[in-house]
Structures are given as structure tokens and as C-alpha cells.
Amino acid sequence: MNDFTFQSPTRFVFGRGVTDRVGAELAAAGHARALVVYGQGSVVRTGTLGRVTASLEAAGVAYAELAGARPNPEVTLVREGVRRARELGADVILAVGGGSVIDTAKAISLGVPHDGDVWELFAKRARPVAEGKPAVASVLTIPAAGSEASDSCVISNDELCLKRGLSSELNRPELAFMDPELTFTLPAYQTAAGVTDMIAHILERFFSAAGPVPVTDHIACGLIRTLIEETPRVLERPDDYDARANIMWVGTLAHNGIAGVGRNAQPASRAGGWESHGLEHELSAHDPKITHGAGLAVVMPAWLRYVSDGEAATERLLALGREVFGIEPVDAETDGVDVAPEEAVRDAALATVDALQDFFVSIGMPRTLGELGVTADDVPALLATLEQNKGSEFGEIRRLTMDDARRIYESAL
């Protein structure tokens, strides 16, 4: 197990009805002025926004609203939010929504004390500062990105065709309100994309080059098994509270860092090479209509298959196959088949990738890039911005060049 530092400082307020306690909790935490950020209307239609603002009023927390964060959120609204937060003197940015809304809130919070355009922080031309930065809180309406507790924030810039992540401990939200009943209204596709994103957050860390770390690996596999068990239940019955609640909490644990403890290369770094996310972010940067989780459902198996013959990846695939899917290499002697041990191992590794991909497809996710509207003609543009974001090589379990990335995209067409 490698040395690590880990903190998850967010206070989680979890359960039925916590939506009505937002104002009281914010006031108790010393907040008096909130900029309430939300998306494209679901929280208005479901009544969630009204419950939140009523609780703010009851608790004497002043607020202003900022609507319109879109999936794969864009920097223009962040700029507007920075202006509004300064005007209001906001001491907390309160996101009511999913990862896109929370990331918009995080970026606004980072932008408030920054002297200059907020994009400079994402372009890594300036560093975020703590002083004068409002806190971030969220009322989570879709379990997926894990942004309610993560150290990261991902923002798109349509003009530059870029989608950029910014990881910093300053991004850890102070409070997360997690009411599983709010997720009953999620469309099946968003539920499934969210689950896929969670599995990706776990596997990016699992497929780091650290070798076995049993405590973390069992947590990781347990989280994935929970998703495999609970997701069909909510697709069948969207108001299954316990299944929704379990999925919601997995979303947090998948990305607050606990699923990578001891697998990180440097004590303060995040575990893993984040290859699937690197490959996916180019898809949703070029076409913001592509849902992050759906893109991952396609590129993650393609990447795993591509690297599956390496020694380190093989060890990881066998561990995942055994613990999550019950896949073991066949044994020529006991199973009475004529297969060389290396071939049996290779078959088990590939069968594990197949099982993972079949699970994604079984919950309604795409198998190919074609289903997302991406064609061979799009690949050069994806590679150009991938190189801007990642440099000429990236990844950990196996370093990937831009030529490798091209082959991975092409294998998924």
C-alpha cells in the first residue's frame, strides 16, 4: 500500500426530507447570503427548488438565483455567476442539481476571489486562492459525478472546444444534502449514465499501477457489486427508496477518494491515470449533447481491452473479474479442457471486459461511438484537443500515445 493523504471534509446530510433542512443547516454553519444555482428546469418542475428557497427564507438566509447550467457546463454562465455572487456578497454558492450544476457552483466560488477571467484557472495560467472564496454546498438531484464531495470541477469552453478539469482541495464542498427521493424523477438514461460514471470513477483508481491493495480493492469491488445489484431495481421501479439510497451513496464514495486510498502514485495525488475520463471528455467537449456517463460506457471497455494484455492490467482484470463477476481462468486439469495457462488467463481478462460492457448495455448505455453520433471523421479533432489537455502521452497502467488513443477510438466506432 502506498503512502497517502486523504480527507473528505464534506458534511453529508442524508435521507428523506433533508431538502427542507437546507436553510437551517446553512444558517447553523454561519451562512447568511446564498447564490442558488440550478440547471435547465427539472428542479423547478419537481418542486425541489421551491422547497429549498422556502427553507432559506424560513432560516433568514438571503439569496439570489442563477438558472441555466447545462449538462457539460459552460464557462459563460460561470462568468455571469461570479458577477452575481460578488454583487450579492454571497458567502455560499448553493447548487441544486447534479454534477453540472455543482461544478458551475464550484467554478463560481473559485472565480469570486480571482482577479481576472475565471477560465485562466482552468487553463492553468493562474492558481485558485482560498481567501475570499465562498463555500460550496449542494442539494444533489442525480447521483453520478460525485462532485458533491470530490476535489474536482469540470468546465467546458465552447469557443475553444475544450473541457477542462481543475482538481484542488479547495473544491471540496462544505455541505451536501442527499435526499434519495429527489432522484425518483430521473429518466432511466440519466440513472444509467450516472451509474456508469460511478463505475468509471472506481475503475480509474482500481486500474492504477499500484498492484493489489486489498482494503481499497474490496471497497472498490463492493461498491461496483452494489451498483450491479441495485441498478436493475431502480430501472424496474424508479421509486425504490432503498435502491436509490444505496446508489446515491455509492456515487459519493466512488469519487471522494476513499476508493483509491493507497493506490496513488504520490501521497497527495489521486490514484490512477484517468484514461477513460481523458478519452471521454473530448467526446462531450466536441458535442455537449453527449452525456458523460454514456461516453464512458463506450470508451472505458475499449481502453481496457486495448491495455488488457499488459502484466499489470491483467492482474487487475483478474481481480475485478473474480470479485465482481465471478470469472476465473479455466484450469486445464480440473475443468478438463485443453487450454494453455496463458491463454486461460487472457480469456478471463477479456471476459471481464466483456462482462463490464454487457452490464452497461443491459442498463441502456451505448456500445459504440456510432450510437453517440461520433464517426471516423471526428477522430482527428478529438485527438487534437486530447493532446492539448493531456500532452503527447498520458495514463498510468500503460502510457498511451496519441496513436494509441486513435486506435482506442477507432476500435469503438
* Residues of the shown chain interacting with ligand NZQ in the complex, contacts defined by CB under 6 A: 39-43, 71-73, 97-101, 103, 141-142, 144-147, 150, 152-154, 182-183, 185-186, 190, 194, 197, 255, 277, 292-293
Residue 49 vs 178, nearer CB to Zn ion: 178
255 contact choice in Zn ion, ligand NZQ, none (CB below 5 to 8 Å, kind-dependent): ligand NZQ
Write the CA distances from 302 to 54, 230, 270, 371, integer angstroms: 47, 25, 23, 15
Residue 318 vs 389, nearer CB to ligand NZQ: 389
Residue 165 vs 310, nearer CB to ligand NZQ: 165
- Minimum distance from residue 106 beta carbon to ligand NZQ (Å): 7
CA distance linking residue 146 with residue 128, whole number of Å: 21
81 contact choice in Zn ion, ligand NZQ, none (CB below 5 to 8 Å, kind-dependent): none
138 contact choice in Zn ion, ligand NZQ, none (CB below 5 to 8 Å, kind-dependent): none
- Minimum distance from residue 283 beta carbon to Zn ion (Å): 12
94 contact choice in ligand NZQ, Zn ion, none (CB below 5 to 8 Å, kind-dependent): none
- Minimum distance from residue 177 beta carbon to ligand NZQ (Å): 13
User: Smallest Cα–Cα separation from 107: which of 188, 180, 53, 171?
Assistant: 171
349 contact choice in ligand NZQ, Zn ion, none (CB below 5 to 8 Å, kind-dependent): none
Q: Which residues, listed in sequence order, are joined to residue 66 by a DSSP beta bridge? A: 37
**Which residue number places its CB atom closest to Zn ion?**
197
98 contact choice in ligand NZQ, Zn ion, none (CB below 5 to 8 Å, kind-dependent): ligand NZQ
Residues that bind Zn ion (CB under 5 A): 197
* Cβ-proximal residues to 369 (8 Å cutoff; 6+ apart), any chain: 283, 298, 375, 409, 412, 413
- Minimum distance from residue 344 beta carbon to ligand NZQ (Å): 35
CA distance linking residue 49 with residue 55, whole number of Å: 10
- Minimum distance from residue 133 beta carbon to ligand NZQ (Å): 16
Residue 218 vs 289, nearer CB to ligand NZQ: 289
Residue with cell 432503498: 242
Residue 10 vs 291, nearer CB to Zn ion: 291
Residue 300 vs 345, nearer CB to Zn ion: 300
Handedness of CA 262, 136, 9, 22 (dihedral sign): negative
DSSP class of 181: G
Classify burial at 31, counting beta carbons within 10 Å of its beta carbon; exposed 0-12, middle 13-18, buried 19 or more.
buried
Q: Which residues, listed in sequence order, are joined to residue 394 by a DSSP beta bridge? A: 400
Q: How far, rounded to the nearest angstrom, does the alpha carbon of residue 401 sit from its chain's CA centroid?
A: 24
Pull the grid cell for residue 241: 427508496
Write the CA distances from 358 to 210, 302, 352, integer angstroms: 27, 13, 10
- Minimum distance from residue 340 beta carbon to ligand NZQ (Å): 39
Residue 263 vs 292, nearer CB to Zn ion: 292
147 contact choice in Zn ion, ligand NZQ, none (CB below 5 to 8 Å, kind-dependent): ligand NZQ
- Minimum distance from residue 365 beta carbon to Zn ion (Å): 14
43 contact choice in Zn ion, ligand NZQ, none (CB below 5 to 8 Å, kind-dependent): ligand NZQ
Residue 31 vs 163, nearer CB to ligand NZQ: 163
> Do the bridges between strand 11-14 and strand 62-66 make them parallel or antiparallel, or are there none, so unpaired?
unpaired
- Minimum distance from residue 73 beta carbon to ligand NZQ (Å): 6
Residue 142 vs 348, nearer CB to ligand NZQ: 142
- Minimum distance from residue 39 beta carbon to ligand NZQ (Å): 3
- For residues 80, 81, 86 and 91, what is the CA-based torsion angle, rounded to 10 degrees? 180
Write the CA distances from 386 to 194, 215, 282, integer angstroms: 23, 34, 6
Residue 297 vs 397, nearer CB to Zn ion: 297
User: Smallest Cα–Cα separation from 72: which of 116, 29, 40, 108?
Assistant: 40
71 contact choice in Zn ion, ligand NZQ, none (CB below 5 to 8 Å, kind-dependent): ligand NZQ
Q: Where are the alpha helices (DSSP H) in 212-340?
A: 214-236, 241-253, 275-286, 292-307, 311-320, 332-335
Classify burial at 355, counting beta carbons within 10 Å of its beta carbon; exposed 0-12, middle 13-18, buried 19 or more.
middle
CA distance linking residue 80 with residue 359, whole number of Å: 40
313 contact choice in ligand NZQ, Zn ion, none (CB below 5 to 8 Å, kind-dependent): none
- Minimum distance from residue 199 beta carbon to Zn ion (Å): 10
